[in-house]
Amino acid sequence: MAFLGGQRLRRTRRTAWSRAMVRETVLTPSDLIWPLFVIEGQNEKTQIRTMPGVERLSVDLCVEAAKAARDAGIPALALFPNTPDHLRSENGAEAYNPDNLMCRALSAIKSAVPEVGLIADVALDEYSSDGQDGLVRDGEILNDETVDVMIRSALVQSQAGADIIAPSDMMDGRVGAIRAALDDEGHEQVQIMAYASKYASCFYGPFREAVGSGSRLKGDKRTYQMDYANSDEAMREIEQDIAEGADSVMVKPGLPYLDIVRRARDSFNIPIYAYQVSGEYAMIELAAAAGAIDRNGAILESLHAFKRAGANGVLTYFALEVARELAR
């Protein structure tokens, strides 16, 4: 039977050149942010059991990674320190030590590769002895006291060379407090990328192993990270962070929350980023290793999904590999 309609939508899909002409979503290296895990030592790298292919790197190797990122067209790195056990404490004081691992990494990379943007994570789980993102008293996560520590942490990171401060804790009021402190101390050019809608998710497991907080975590983070059943609440969180001075906002995790990315894009005129978190990375790697999916296809399809949903960029552990592939 002959096709009776006037439109044949398959026509434009018939050839590769035609598909390229009508493609709605384009992924480039400048859309990617590469997270790095930093450890002590010299020429030191360690494997992360639950993240095959991702390594913790000493500061000197982070510098080399930054050079590779620059050469591949990746605009920025996000740094996460694995603080040695003996420097972790209940009050997280190492977070505002100007000579801590994070600050030394920021300074070394900025000195060697100044053209690459540096995003500094601000939260206490990388410095605390209990694995929580905030200070704890009698089992309660303290909001305002935690914000005071985060301010001090953000200041030393900015002094060390951070271009973007990224508070990932989900304490109330921390964006406004950090913005005011940065401005008062002459860091008015430092941006804030707020983890505005960060959910209490099971997809963070490999990350917690990578930064050394998972095995020491006492309790959970549901009193401050968002309930994954909620969507309207995410819009209120984003709106509040924008009002407090955020320059950009983040949705975390990524693929399970593309609806939040889309709602944010439709609701707010601000750069929106999504984090393809460690559990998402691990699922692709482990499924590919088992022969269940095509690895390269899954990576590119997932990253295009972020852009299609409205994200300006994606934090992904695949960043260097993908940037090099896109260049080819």
Q: Give the residue extent of every domain in the chain.
A: 26-327
Work out the mean pLDDT of the chain and round it to a whole number: 96
Residues making up the annotated binding site are 237
Quick one: angle between helices 258-267 and 232-243, nearest 10?
50
Helix (H) or strand (E) holding 177: helix 174-184
Q: Rounded to the nearest 10 degrees, how much is the dihedral formed by the CA atoms of 312, 315, 319, 325? A: -30
DSSP helix/strand/coil, 61: helix
Count of residues in the chain: 328
* Catalytic sites, residue numbers: 198, 252
Q: Which of 1, 53, 47 is closest to 284 using CA atoms?
A: 53
User: What is the rounded average pLDDT of the residues 38-46?
Assistant: 98
What are the pLDDT digits (tens) for 44-59? 999 999 999 999 999 9
Q: Which residues contact 66 (CB under 8 A, 6 or more apart)?
A: 77, 109, 112, 113, 116
User: Could you tell me the two tokens for 155?
Assistant: 């200041």
What are the pLDDT digits (tens) for 101-133? 999 999 999 999 999 999 999 999 999 999 999
Amino acid (1-letter code) at residue 322: V
Q: Which residues contact 235 (CB under 8 A, 6 or more apart)?
A: 263, 264, 267
Residue 180, CA atoms < 13 Å, CB-side half-sphere: 9
Note the Cα 36 to chain centre separation in Å: 10
**Poorest-pLDDT segment among 96-100, 128-132, 182-186, 234-238:** 128-132
* Strand-pair partners of 32: 314
DSSP helix/strand/coil, 279: helix
Task: State what percent of residues in the chain have pLDDT above 90.
Answer: 94
Quick one: angle between helices 295-309 and 278-289, nearest 10?
150
Measured distance CA(59)–CA(77) in Å, rounded: 13
Sign, CA torsion 251/256/260/263: positive
pLDDT at position 253 over 90: yes
Residues making up the annotated binding site for Mg(2+) are 237
Global pTM value = 0.96
User: What is the rounded average pLDDT of the residues 149-169?
Assistant: 98
Residue 308's pLDDT is what?
98
Note the Cα 102 to chain centre separation in Å: 15
* The CATH number, out of the four listed (3.20.20.70, 2.40.50.1070, 3.40.50.720, 3.30.930.10), of the domain defined by the range 26-327: 3.20.20.70
